[in-house]
Amino acid sequence: MYVAVKGGERAIDAAHAWLAEERRGDLSVDELSTRQIEEQLTLAVNRVMAEGSLYDRELAALAIKQSRGDLIEAIFLIRAYRTTLPRFGSSRPVDTGEMACIRRISATFKDAPGGQVLGPTFDYTHRLLDFKLLAEGDVAPAPVAQATPGPVPHITEFLNKDGLIEDQPHDDTQPNDLTREPLELPADRALRLQALTRGDEGFVLGMAYSTQRGYGRTHAFVGELRIGLCPVSLDIPELGFAIELGEVELTECETVNQFKGSKTEPPQFTRGYGLVFGQSERKAISMSLVDRALRWRELGEDNVGAPAQDAEFVLYHCDNIQATGFLEHIKLPHYVDFQAELELIRRLRAEATANATANATATALASTDMNEAAE
């Protein structure tokens, strides 16, 4: 069957022109600059960088502006842009032990060396709307105090010294990259972590929450959560040494999980790990819980059939760009497919009607025969 496929251009052009006008909104209201988005919608920028899998604040802000604040659309724009960039190489793994922390808390050790540093957090706010923000106003400068110079030690290392937590031995095996080769199962932990760190925050949060509610419970404590800047080093072949190209803000979460021991491992604490671009602590905590749940096989735990233990389920559904691409495509023209479905339904109905008529006739004839026989 021939179906017209042209004729939408004028409508599409008009739709996009209207979109641009709607994006700008009321002309009597000042236009939003990308610098304002970068500085004042920082956590949205962070989310777009993390799930767009590209650390560039200005581009993330531009994507948020272009997408009218639809963050998944913004992430889509960033993912599309990053495919146009040549890859200069892979950095040396960032050393989060050297992080210049602005926040560092532990839910397991009150008096951990380095202390509990709250940083610019929403925690302990009352979640009451602050009507002062409706009016413009100056902000009082934040208080300062004498800082202790030098890096802050990782809290899990204290447990590691006593052998109470599984060791995380240093290793330089280069990881596979799911932006270069399609994700195949079974996926090793490095690939799982890459998928989770760029995965949808809502999805990863839901999966993590399901483990807390009992679907593959792992009894997680936040051993440490830290946020801060880490330098990124790249080996430069033409120079013969590595230089620090810049700094990225990262959120790292290490969970300490109860573990009764298995046939191969003594009773000890185990680890879940989350590391995410930007200040994204809900995501980092969620990532570490899901990472831990997915480790059931290597730790010799039972698969209780929980969704968060199912690597295929988690890894193939956590990417919001893949998900939204497949989901939203069903709104695009499917006229030919639907014509075929329509034809099929009509034929089945016609057949069903014909059968019903034939059956009714046969039944009527049969009953006539029986009546005749009885008579």
Q: Which of 72, 107, 190, 299 contacts another protein by CB under 8 A? A: 190
Instruction: Provide the minimum distance between the beta carbon of 265 and another protein in the complex, in angstroms, as a whole number.
Output: 15
Determine if 163 is a binding residue for another protein (CB under 8 A). Answer: no
Determine if 97 is a binding residue for another protein (CB under 8 A). Answer: yes
Q: Which of 34, 46, 67, 96 contacts another protein by CB under 8 A? A: 96
Residue closest to 230 by CA, chosen among 160, 178, 174, 152: 152
Determine if 76 is a binding residue for another protein (CB under 8 A). Answer: no
Distance CA 274, CA 67 (A): 28
Build a one-symbol-per-residue string for 253-292: x at contacts with another protein by CB under 8 A, - elsewhere: -x----------------x-x-x-x---------------
Distance CA 288, CA 255 (A): 6
Give me 115's structure tokens: 């202390």
Which distant-in-sequence residues (6+ apart) come within 8 Å of 304 by Cβ?
215, 216
Place of tokens 């899901």: 290
Residue closest to 51 by CA, chosen among 239, 200, 270: 200
Q: Which of 7, 137, 143, 305 contacts another protein by CB under 8 A? A: 143
For another protein, give the closer residue by CB, 109 or 215. Answer: 109
Determine if 248 is a binding residue for another protein (CB under 8 A). Answer: yes
Determine if 311 is a binding residue for another protein (CB under 8 A). Answer: no
Determine if 162 is a binding residue for another protein (CB under 8 A). Answer: no
276 to each of 204, 213, 215, how far by Cα in Å? 12, 24, 24
Own/partner contacts of 71-77, CB < 8 Å, gap of 24 or more, are 71/44, 71/47, 72/200, 72/320, 72/321, 72/324, 74/48, 75/47, 75/48, 75/51, 75/320, 75/321, 76/321, 76/324, 77/52
Instruction: Provide the minimum distance between the beta carbon of 156 and another protein in the complex, in angstroms, as a whole number.
Output: 8
Hey, CA dihedral for 205, 209, 212, 217, is it positive or negative? negative
Instruction: Provide the minimum distance between the beta carbon of 284 and another protein in the complex, in angstroms, as a whole number.
Output: 11
- Are 253 and 225 contacting, i.e. CB atoms less than 8 angstroms apart? yes
Site residues for another protein, 193-232, by CB under 8 A, read 193-194, 197-198, 231-232
For 211-235, the DSSP string reads HHTTTT---EEEEEEEEEEEEEEEE
Q: Which of 139, 142, 185, 330 contacts another protein by CB under 8 A? A: 142
Determine if 10 is a binding residue for another protein (CB under 8 A). Answer: no
Determine if 177 is a binding residue for another protein (CB under 8 A). Answer: yes
Determine if 87 is a binding residue for another protein (CB under 8 A). Answer: yes
Q: Which of 26, 111, 130, 181 contacts another protein by CB under 8 A? A: 111
With contacts defined by CB under 8 A, name the span among 5-13, 111-119, 303-311, 326-334 that binds another protein: 111-119
Instruction: Provide the minimum distance between the beta carbon of 335 and another protein in the complex, in angstroms, as a whole number.
Output: 39
Instruction: Provide the minimum distance between the beta carbon of 4 and another protein in the complex, in angstroms, as a whole number.
Output: 42
Site residues for another protein, 330-359, by CB under 8 A, read none
For another protein, give the closer residue by CB, 178 or 308. Answer: 178
Q: Which of 10, 110, 127, 213 contacts another protein by CB under 8 A? A: 110
Residue closest to 42 by CA, chosen among 280, 287, 352: 280
What beta strand segments (E) does 258-363 contain?
270-277
Three-state DSSP class for residue 13: helix
